[in-house]
Amino acid sequence: MTIGTYPPLPPFYKLYKDYIENPKSAPKPPPPFEGTYVCYGGNYTKELRSFNRELQLHILDLAERPSQYARKVEDISLIFKNLHHFLNSLRPHQARATLIHILEL
């Protein structure tokens, strides 16, 4: 039995063998997903709405109490960071590209 250092290549790599000579030879992307997005049994729509609601409440609270500016801006910043992390967990490819762009700056 032979054991390799790396796992075998996935079979779909053969679809891109002529890509260098002819970029149009690659298969077309799948159609956009319709309906609700469920990953690992979780519906992320509720979480995104919860983040949005919480963000709106904190912004309104900041408008009502400008004396607590520093604390409210810190809370809003934390909500944005959590929302950004959550969205990036839904889009690993885009998250990777964003990270590369940030690191290049």
Domain coordinates of the chain in residue numbers?
43-105
Q: What is the pLDDT of residues 81-104, one digit of tens each?
A: 999 888 878 777 667 777 888 888
Which of 8-28 are b and which e, b meaning 16 or more Cβ less than 10 Å from the residue's Cβ? Answer: eeeeeeeeeeeeeeeeeeeee
CA–CA separation, 17 and 23 (whole Å): 10
Q: What is the pLDDT of residues 41-55, one digit of tens each?
A: 566 778 888 999 999
pTM of the model: 0.48
CA–CA separation, 18 and 47 (whole Å): 42
